Amino acid sequence: MTTLVKNGTVVTASDRYEADIFIDKGVVSLIGQGLNLPADEVVDASGKLVMPGGIDVHTHLDMPFGGTNSADDFETGTIAAAHGGTTTIIDFAIQNFGEGLYPAFEGWMKKAEGKAVIDYAFHMIVRELTDQVSHDMDKMARHEGVTSFKLFMAYPGVFQVDDATIFRALLKTKENGGLICMHAENGGVIDTLVKDALRKGHTAPKYHALTRPTRAEGEATGRAIALSEMAGVPIYIVHLSCSDALEKVKQARDQGLPAYAETCPQYLFLSYEDYERPGFEGAKYVMSPPLREKWNQDALWKGLAKNDLQVVSTDHCPFCMNEPPQKQLGQGDFSKIPNGAPGIETRLMLLWDGGVRAGHIDPHRFVEIVSTNPAKMFGLWPKKGTVAVGSDGDLVLFDADKRSVLSASTHHMRVDYNPYEGREVTGGPAVVLSRGEVIVDHGTLRGKPGRGQFVKRQGGRPLVP
């Protein structure tokens, strides 16, 4: 199978030029001007920006959580991702208590097999660090291409681990070249505040945010970085939401420590006011960390522009409001609202419109934070994350003038609301290719479920400054 992409403007993290791209058996084999080779498919990219496909390193598909399962599985979730210009995801496989990492890894491989439309990889969530798990971390990193592990400093009884466990896991990555991804919120403080709020009869969704202060995220972020410094390894903070936590990352990086962090569109475009919506509507925005006061958004944009934040992922973890009633599990008790929100489809559109067009970042930084850095951070580069000879033919033909209105009535995510309902955005994918195959063509899905492949990742230090 060969594909020729003609007359596009290639935009990577570093370059911009007019070129044609020839893809042979899924891999870019030639980039040049005026290429006239015969190909099985010729795609016209005139007037489009040709960028590497988006890489979303934080998704939760088909995940048991909060007494239910996230609403998108690997079929619906990756179809939605593809429509939004994302061609690779890294999802989280969850270790079960009392087991090693292999049952979880195999379980998540089964969830994805025959369903995924785009390529996928896994991080492993570690809930307890037994000798078996410790041994499996090495095997995962060295043999399975699962080179990152998420630990939680919050959700006591479900995911939370103590500092000794975190420190031991960090030391493990020194040996096996893995990377620890940290959910940094102080679970003990939050748990106390939650119990106190419920005792006072404060049950509405907004109390989710009011019991998870920015200090609880800042403290945990600082502690996580300090632990990684003592272990002598890099650390990656996931879904960073506020200035308080960003300051800790900034301080560490100013000292030359290999501290990295991602934020997500919801923290750049939504805010605490969304919890004040009437009735139970605030439940749509119940996620952890919660949405913050609006002023934090400026700090996050600056963090992205100055490379104190290196990645924007989605933390896509959708739960329906009513059909089926998943968020409703928390009627009368905000602590029972399943935590998470949808976003796998809207990341590139939002970041182009609200990031590039709004003047916070330029198109090259856009490519860097949605594709190149995610690939370099998590061992996918240069196979993924750039447009180059030898890289996979994962491309987004991006129409900078395309106008869309984000809405549950038109999105492809299997969830009955869109957190950005009614928001108009300019800029979006016209054609999406995965390994040279057109998978989305002007809004029409062409990629078949099951074509997505598991990607084994490299270990080692992140290749991001």
Residue 287 site contact among ligand URP, Zn ion, none (CB < 5 to 8 Å, cut-off depends on kind): ligand URP
205 makes contact with ligand URP (CB under 6 A): no
The minimum distance between CB 60 and Zn ion, in angstroms, equals 5
Using the minimum distance from each CB to ligand URP, give the nearer residue, 211 or 339.
339
Task: Please report which helix (H) or strand (E) contains residue 195, including its range.
Answer: helix 187-199
Query: CB-wise, 239 or 327, nearer to ligand URP?
Result: 239
Q: How far is the CB of 219 from ligand URP (least distance, A)?
A: 17
Q: Encode burial over 166-182: b for 16+ CB neighbours within 10 A, e otherwise.
A: bbebbebbeebbbbbbb
At position 147, the amino acid (one-letter code) is: T
**Which H or E element spans position 209?**
helix 206-210
| DSSP for residue 53 | P
| Nearest-angstrom CA–CA distance, 21 and 387 | 9
- DSSP-derived secondary structure letter, 83: H
> How many residues of this chain bind ligand URP (CB under 6 A)?
9
Closest CB to Zn ion among residues 9, 59: 59
**86-94 vs 119-125, strand pairing mode:** parallel
Q: Which amino acid is at 317?
A: C
For ligand URP, give the closer residue by CB, 144 or 185.
Answer: 185
Rounded Cα distance, 306 and 368, in Å: 12
Torsion-angle region of 296 (φ positive above 0: left; ψ -120 to 50: alpha; else: beta): alpha
340, 374, 385, 419: residue in contact with ligand URP (rule CB under 6 A): 340
- Express the helix, strand and coil content of the chain in percent, nearest 5 each: 35, 25, 45
Could you say which of ligand URP, Zn ion, none residue 339 binds, taking C-beta under 5 to 8 angstroms by partner kind? ligand URP
327 binds, among Zn ion, ligand URP, none (CB under 5 to 8 A by kind): none
Q: At its nearest, how many Å lie between ligand URP and the CB of residue 392?
A: 27
- The item of ligand URP, Zn ion, none sharing an interface with residue 265, based on CB under 5 to 8 Å by kind, is none
Q: Facing residues of 432 across strands?
A: 396, 440
- Chain residues binding Zn ion by CB under 5 A are 183, 315
CA 163 → CA 71, 182, 304, 354, 402, distances in Å?
32, 12, 29, 38, 48
CB of 289 to Zn ion, least distance (A): 8
- The least distance separating Zn ion from the CB of residue 403, rounded to whole angstroms, comes to 30
377: exposed, middle or buried (Cβ count in 10 Å: 0-12, 13-18, 19+): buried
Residues 243-282 that bind ligand URP (CB under 6 A): none
Q: By CB under 6 A, is residue 76 in contact with ligand URP?
A: no
Regarding 183 and contact with ligand URP (CB under 6 A), the answer is: yes
Neighbour tally for 196: CB within 10 Å: 11
Choose the contact partner of 86 out of Zn ion, ligand URP, none; CB within 5 to 8 A by kind.
none
- Closest distance of CB 162 from Zn ion, Å: 17
Q: Is 356 in the site for ligand URP (CB under 6 A)?
A: no
Are 181 and 151 spatial neighbours (Cβ–Cβ below 8 Å)?
yes
Closer residue to ligand URP in complex, CB, 77/447: 77
Q: Which residue is nearest to Zn ion (CB)?
A: 183
353 makes contact with ligand URP (CB under 6 A): no
Q: Nearer Cβ to Zn ion, position 22 or 92?
A: 92
Burial environment of residue 115 by CB neighbours within 10 A (0 to 12, 13 to 18, 19 or more): buried
Distance of CA 112 to the CA centre of its chain: 17
What residue number has its CB nearest to ligand URP?
339
What is the residue whose two structure tokens read 């095997």? 139
Closest approach, Cβ 315 to ligand URP, in A, equals: 5
Nearer CB in complex with ligand URP: 4/104: 104
- Using rule CB under 6 A, residue 339 touches ligand URP: yes
If binding is defined by CB under 6 A, does position 288 make contact with ligand URP? yes
Q: Does 317 bind ligand URP (CB under 6 A)?
A: yes
Rule CB under 6 A: say whether 60 interacts with ligand URP.
yes
Minimum Å gap between C-beta 220 and ligand URP is 12
Scan residues 154-173 and list those touching ligand URP (CB under 6 A). Answer: none
First CA to last CA distance, the chain = 37
Tell which positions 218-247 bind ligand URP, by CB under 6 A: 239
Residue 384 interacting entry, from ligand URP, Zn ion, none, C-beta within 5 to 8 Å by type? none
What are the C-alpha distances in Å from 50 to residues 9, 85, 126, 275, 426? 6, 11, 38, 38, 17
Residue numbers of the site for ligand URP (CB under 6 A)? 60, 183, 239, 287-288, 315, 317, 339-340
